[in-house]
A and B are shown apart, each in its own frame.
Chain A
């Protein structure tokens, strides 16, 4: 059984009349790269702020590294994070800012700082003052801080904001490498779904504070893959006909009423005719297969309607 790093139970945060987070249940496993997908104000940052202790929940609780309540606070040292915008002292250089946090966390030596700055591509700007940094450089320094302490869990809120394409690609590789080599768990939120898709292995889709879906990358691939969706009252019979009579093996029964055929099929009308001819009660048959963005939009609209 996989080790759970973070688990929330009915986590809720209300501000006066509105709920920024509404009874959210999420589970993040060790070595996950967990992507939070949602529009502005969906509740992604609120989850991160609650978990890191920057705000307290109105209801519910969360368990981090197996600890809840007050004792969860002691696990903070195992977390590195960048929430909202990167915040540093403007009059200090990149190196001095990281040195400040090293002293604060009791991290000895200076080699760690140089290594981390190199990892995020800021080695040459180590002595440059933070106030003179571009947006992308500030973002990199924020990521460097999150990685500084070799944490077990890194929480990054919109980490690629302001980064150039090469920087995004380099960071993506860094996240993957840290996840693979040091077994660091990541929770990353982003508006750029295609970028999140390339790094994350599990996704949480959230809208207006409500969890819409928690899905693995494999499941997401299946949901988005081009296919023919057949709705019927007897998926077992349909599966048998597909395999025996039509020789189709690449399909998946998604629920008791629905089956998806992933095998290339140029003529859905002909398929429909063949299924009806074999006494399959087809209630609907249509082509599917959408982009990640469309999938997200459809899901949100479906829940809203």
Chain B
């Protein structure tokens, strides 16, 4: 029978009008599973929320009260697109801790370093341009790059971070194909999600490779001051002032709710970033900037970062001990010296995404590795976050995860290692929202 010709409903009257870049913005059954992770019954090793319980809330309340009383009409007013001048000076002081000499005029305050990522990509990347990024890489960056229709080529790391020879090979391969690389995106310190740190001796080499190839470096450094020994590493920006754009953030060293980050860029680039920022949001929130600035001026923030480091070190230790005690043979993991994350690699044939429902049933959550690649790679890996749960919960979470893993290994042994469903070509957002614990 011929069907009557009448239109159906798509429940979205704009469906034919969306930009091509919205492809992939679909509901994800994996992302939906994270809804369960927020329940207290579940040990969430999935989110990346800092442990704000360690902050001196009474003192911060005083800072906020004084800000409103003394400077309320400024703090609640529009500000300049480049950001608060005093804060930019303080940012320069902070960057100096990692060897970066910058001028406040070359700093732009942004709505988290995430906005800086967006702005840099906006002013440099045309659809189809190539961006090099570590494999795996920060999911928030991959989302930005996808929204500007860039092609991300991943460069493999080892336990010393980005491998220079792999970088050379990737550049040669892309250039041989006649493609243009706009920049290398890298998280040198306490990498999210890999948990590794770029070796100090590799840094000049990587800077030199990019300079020679005419490739800008976008250095993202939210965790640099969170090394567990207090040691810092020389920023790539400290090795090259012209070819590196440096991104920083107060989200991990103070609190993400203020949404204050920054970019330090060569003068001409910074001017374009400021104009792009003005088009995006007129100005970063003056209130947040002034809160951060006053916090830095009046509170012992270095001591606070030390307290954060100690908390996260204890949780890292709990994670690594539990993994060593309970993981089945064949599972490997990185050993972070700072930051929030451990990257776990499963034996061949296991698929971390496929087994996440089983993990959620067992009341433990992690993030499957595929979310940290733009090309579907990463199925045999996953990220564990230790920043939020206390050590005893971490141990319980790893215990549950180990049980899930053994069950999955048994199942794979029964059905064969190739028993993995092929990707259907869609790239849904398979990682949790930022407010997941």
Does A pair with B? Answer: no
